[in-house]
């Protein structure tokens, strides 16, 4: 058992003098450091203020990359509808939850997306696959195609655009087959997939600006063949 300190020993402990050859000042400093550690929770200096991570209602603020992606997706779908659907199925930006683009960078990216969309529209094999009756606008079809696009775990802008394009064509199918109530749902599926599976990769690329570089440097015919292959796989699976 440890010996009890006498009154003199306790006084020495407080003053830090040597008693019996031992330095009590060292013990005192050690005890003080332990008390300091208890006062500061581990990682407290690294923790973000609550106001930076949640809003007044306790909700996590939206990710800027997801927000831009949603803006581009809705604008892309709106513009493609104007080209593919006749006047009997008028859709406003408000119905899609979209707004007129004001940011010059967003306008530039949107223009690149429309040019890619035009190229994919010209791929006859891809259009044949898209028009197959097995590709109906349902959640099962959407997620089967989305998962097949990224089934090998590889990411690039072509595949991200392919997801946008397929979502857009599902929306157009919904309009043509007179089930417009599912349009916003398809958009939400796409945004959810983006948030849950693609956001980290897009962030690593520095944001959405890489779309235009992809458009300038890639053979879009290859993208059309790739997406047609994905759709073929899903169609075969659904018909088995």
pLDDT on residue 37: 45
pLDDT on residue 62: 81
C-alpha 118, offset from chain centre: 25
CB atoms within 10 A of CB 235: 18
Residues 6+ apart with CB under 8 A from 162: 149, 223, 226, 227, 230
pLDDT on residue 221: 83
**Structural domains of the chain, with CATH:** 7-39 (no CATH), 64-239 (1.10.437.10)
The two three-digit tokens of residue 126, written as one number = 């891809």
Find the helix or strand (DSSP H, E) in which 18 lies: strand 18-19
pLDDT on residue 216: 81
Q: List, in sequence order, every residue forming a beta bridge with 199; answer none if it has no partner.
A: none
pLDDT on residue 91: 85
pLDDT per residue, tens digit, the chain (240 aa), is 444 445 544 454 444 444 444 444 444 555 555 455 444 434 333 333 433 445 555 567 789 999 999 999 999 999 999 888 876 667 889 889 999 999 999 999 999 999 999 999 999 999 999 999 999 999 999 999 999 999 999 999 999 999 999 999 999 999 888 888 899 999 999 999 999 999 999 999 999 999 998 888 777 888 999 999 999 999 998 887
pLDDT on residue 214: 84
Quote the CA–CA distance of 155 and 202 in Å, as a whole number. Answer: 9
Listed residue (204, 182, 31) closest to 96, CA to CA:
182
pLDDT on residue 5: 47
pLDDT on residue 179: 83
């Amino acid at each position: 058992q440890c010996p009890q300190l006498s009154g003199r020993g306790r006084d020495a402990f407080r003053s830090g003098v040597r008693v019996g050859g031992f330095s009590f000042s060292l013990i005192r400093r050690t005890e003080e450091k332990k008390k300091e550690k208890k006062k500061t929770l581990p990682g407290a200096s690294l923790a973000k203020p609550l106001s930076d991570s949640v809003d007044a209602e306790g909700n996590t603020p939206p990710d800027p990359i997801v927000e831009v992606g949603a803006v581009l997706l809705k604008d892309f779908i709106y513009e493609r509808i104007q080209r593919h659907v006749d006047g009997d199925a008028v859709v406003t930006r408000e119905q899609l939850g979209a707004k007129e683009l004001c940011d010059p960078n967003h306008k530039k990216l949107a223009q690149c997306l429309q040019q890619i969309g035009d190229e994919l529209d010209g791929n006859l094999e891809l259009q044949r696959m898209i028009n197959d009756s097995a590709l109906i606008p349902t959640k099962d079809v959407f997620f089967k195609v989305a998962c097949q696009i990224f089934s090998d775990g590889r990411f690039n802008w072509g595949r991200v655009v392919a997801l946008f394009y397929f979502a857009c064509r599902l929306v157009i199918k919904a309009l043509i087959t007179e089930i417009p109530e599912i349009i916003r749902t398809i958009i939400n599926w796409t945004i959810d997939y983006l948030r849950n599976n693609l956001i980290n990769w897009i962030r690593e690329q520095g944001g959405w600006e890489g779309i235009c570089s992809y458009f300038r440097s890639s053979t879009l015919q290859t993208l059309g063949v790739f997406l047609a292959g994905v759709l073929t796989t899903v169609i075969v699976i659904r018909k088995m």
